[in-house]
Amino acid sequence: MFQTAFKYYKSRNPPPTFENVLFIGMDNPNLQPVQLNCSDESNFWGLRPPKEWKVYELSTRPGLIMLANPFSCAGQRHWMMRCLVDYPTYPNTTNLSNLNQTNREAGNSWWEMLRSIPNATERRKYAKQLRWATLGYQYDWTNKVYDEARKERFPSELCVLVKYVATALGYDRFSPEAAIVNYYPIGSTLAGHTDHSEDDQLAPLFSFSFGQPAVFLIGGTTRDEQPDAILLRSGDIVVMTGASRQCYHAVPRVCTDAELPKECGNSAERWEETDSLQKQPDTDEILDEVQQYIQYSRININVRQVLKENQHTLQPVL
């Protein structure tokens, strides 16, 4: 059932319809509004106040919490820039780390190499090669484990953002310890899987989307269950808590606005409007290039707590 749905939304010919896809915030009985009980009136830069957030729980997947874009346009641009300029740099690991060993020794980052390519077609081709970066605990993709010996410093600003969102949702003990930043060119996919490599598999998983829209599938604890399809747009946040934390999920489609019903709106409006961003002269050009990149890509930051409460190191792998 899960794989059938995955193939349906992945299909190019014929393309899928979106009539059964949930849009966060739409009028649907399965999207139950969640009222936040926030006593903290402080605001985090780049986010609207929590009292203005639109939060929902998917009734068919208990524990799946969804926030409809709480970011300002400036906030979105800021996190896009962090994901492109800062996170794919040493000592963080990327899928290009081995290929970029020479560049790293020369002091050149992936972003610097991208900016140095004058031809737009070649630059876009190079940009598509970056698919993931790991932050904090570095993930061993071959053995599907974290390694205590490969624990890097988790980005402090991202830590503060995630803890702010977690606390607003009632998870004030959540500790951001690892993140995978996924870079999706339009047309790419992420196969169905569960996240079970963390020692603490009960702590929520936070997922932030930026850029182009994507279809997100969330099923049950086996591949035999029919999944729900959710449209994730720039700025949307998904939090997998409770029973949903152990569910199969996937991204069968990263698309453009042209493929979606008109009522979905224009994704670029979520990050291009002029607002409170205080530009620096040396960042204007970078922001322009970030916005060029995001025209054909989606970025996803998913943040995990690796250790159980009061646990200080990973359990040894036997």
Instruction: From residue 312, give the alpha-carbon distance in Å to each of 22, 113, 171, 179, 222.
Output: 40, 38, 20, 18, 32
| Predicted pLDDT at 205 | 97
Burial (0-12, 13-18, 19+ Cβ within 10 Å), 151: middle
37 pLDDT more than 70: yes
Order of strands, sheet of 249-254, starting from the edge strand that comes earlier in the sequence: 21-23, 228-232, 214-218, 249-254, 190-193
Could you list the residues known to form a binding site for Fe cation, using ranges. Answer: 193, 195, 249
Could you list the residues known to form a binding site, using ranges. Answer: 193, 195, 249
| Predicted pLDDT at 156 | 96
Q: Is the dihedral of CA 182, 241, 69, 222 positive or negative?
A: positive
Q: Name the residue type at position 273.
A: E
CATH of residue 145's domain is 2.60.120.590
Enumerate residues 6+ apart whose C-beta is below 8 A from 309. 173, 200
- Give a yes or no: residue 50 inside a domain: no
| Predicted pLDDT at 35 | 87
| Predicted pLDDT at 101 | 53
Nearest to 35 by CA among 7, 14, 56, 64: 56
Joined tokens for residue 218: 């969330």
Mean pLDDT of 177-182: 96
How many C-beta atoms surround the C-beta of residue 211 within 10 A? 29
| Per-residue pLDDT reduced to its tens digit, 2-24 | 999 999 999 999 999 999 999 99
The number of domains in the chain is 1
Query: Of 69-78, 104-113, 152-161, which range is least confident?
Result: 104-113
- Give a yes or no: residue 191 inside a domain: yes
| pLDDT over 70 percentage in the chain | 91
- Give a yes or no: residue 262 inside a domain: yes
Instruction: From residue 309, give the alpha-carbon distance in Å to each of 57, 173, 174, 313, 317.
Output: 25, 8, 9, 11, 19
- Give a yes or no: residue 282 inside a domain: yes
- Give a yes or no: residue 189 inside a domain: yes
Domain that holds residue 84: 1-39+55-97+108-304
- Give a yes or no: residue 117 inside a domain: yes
At residue 246, φ and ψ (nearest 5 deg) are -100, 10
Strand segments, DSSP code E, in 24-131 are 31-33, 55-58, 64-67, 93-94
Nearest to 24 by CA among 276, 239, 271, 316: 239
106 pLDDT more than 50: no
318 pLDDT more than 80: no
| pLDDT over 90 percentage in the chain | 69
Instruction: Give CA–CA dist 131/126, Å, rounded.
Output: 11
- Give a yes or no: residue 102 inside a domain: no
Query: Of 10-19, 94-103, 230-239, which range is least confident?
Result: 94-103
316 pLDDT more than 70: no
Average pLDDT for the chain: 89
- Give a yes or no: residue 45 inside a domain: no
The length of the chain is: 318
